[in-house]
Amino acid sequence: MKNLNDILQFNILILLSILMIQCTGTGAKQNNKTALKSNEMPQITKEMFGTTFNGQAVEKYTLSNSLGMQVDIITYGGIITRWTAPNKDGVFQDVVLGYNSLDQYMESNPYFGALIGRYGNRIANGQFTLNNNTYQLAQNNGKNHLHGGDKGFDKVVWTAEPMPPKDDSVTLKLTYLSVDGEEGYPGNLQTTVLYTLTNENVLDVEYKATSDQETIVNLTQHTYFNLSGDFSNTILDHEITIDADAYLPVDETLIPTGVVADVSGTPFDFRNAKAIGKQINDTNEQLSRGLGYDHCWVLNNQNSGLREVATAYHKDSGRYLEIATTEPGIQLYTGNFLDGTLPSKQKGETYNYRTGFCLETQHFPDSPNQSNFPIVVLKPGEMYNSKTTFKFSTK
**Catalytic residue positions, numbered:** 222, 360
Half-sphere exposure of 69 (CA within 13 A, CB side): 23
How far is it, in rounded angstroms, from Cα 125 to Cα 99? 31
What kind and span of H or E run contains 57?
strand 57-64
Q: In 326-383, at which residue ranges do the beta strands (DSSP E only) sit?
A: 329-333, 358-362, 377-378
How far is it, in rounded angstroms, from Cα 53 to Cα 377? 34
Measured from the CB atom, is 240 or 254 closer to ligand BGC?
A: 254
CB neighbours of 329 closer than 8 A, spacing ≥ 6? Answer: 248, 296, 297, 298, 299, 361, 362, 363, 364
Measured from the CB atom, is 130 or 261 closer to ligand BGC?
A: 261
Measured from the CB atom, is 69 or 79 closer to ligand BGC?
A: 79
CB of 109 to ligand BGC, least distance (A): 8
CB of 152 to ligand BGC, least distance (A): 11
CB of 69 to ligand BGC, least distance (A): 25
Measured from the CB atom, is 202 or 327 closer to ligand BGC?
A: 327
Q: Prior bond to 118 cis, omega within 30? A: yes
CB of 254 to ligand BGC, least distance (A): 6
Measured from the CB atom, is 110 or 187 closer to ligand BGC?
A: 110
How far is it, in rounded angstroms, from Cα 361 to Cα 359? 6
Task: Quickly list DSSP for 28-40.
Answer: HHHTTEEPPP-SP
Query: Which residue ranges make up the site for ligand BGC (CB under 6 A)?
Result: 110-111, 254, 294, 331, 333, 337, 358, 360
CB of 388 to ligand BGC, least distance (A): 14
CB of 130 to ligand BGC, least distance (A): 24
Phi, psi of 5 (to 5 degrees): -60, -45
Let me know if 347 is exposed, middle or buried by CB neighbors in 10 A (0-12, 13-18, 19+): exposed
CB of 291 to ligand BGC, least distance (A): 9
Measured from the CB atom, is 74 or 358 closer to ligand BGC?
A: 358
How far is it, in rounded angstroms, from Cα 200 to Cα 223? 20
- Residue 92: what residue type? F
Measured from the CB atom, is 82 or 147 closer to ligand BGC?
A: 147
Measured from the CB atom, is 33 or 363 closer to ligand BGC?
A: 363
CB of 224 to ligand BGC, least distance (A): 8
How far is it, in rounded angstroms, from Cα 235 to Cα 226? 6
Comparing every residue's Cβ against ligand BGC, the nearest one is 110
Please state, in angstroms and as integers, the Cα–Cα distance from residue 178 to each residue in 13, 76, 106, 235, following that order.
55, 14, 19, 35
Q: How many helices (H) and strands (E) does the chain have?
A: 4, 28
- Chain centre distance of CA 30: 23
Indicate the DSSP class of residue 207. E
Q: Could you tell me which residues are beta bridge partners of residue 262?
A: 246
How far is it, in rounded angstroms, from Cα 240 to Cα 95? 16
Q: Is 146 helix (H, G, I), strand (E, B) or coil?
A: strand
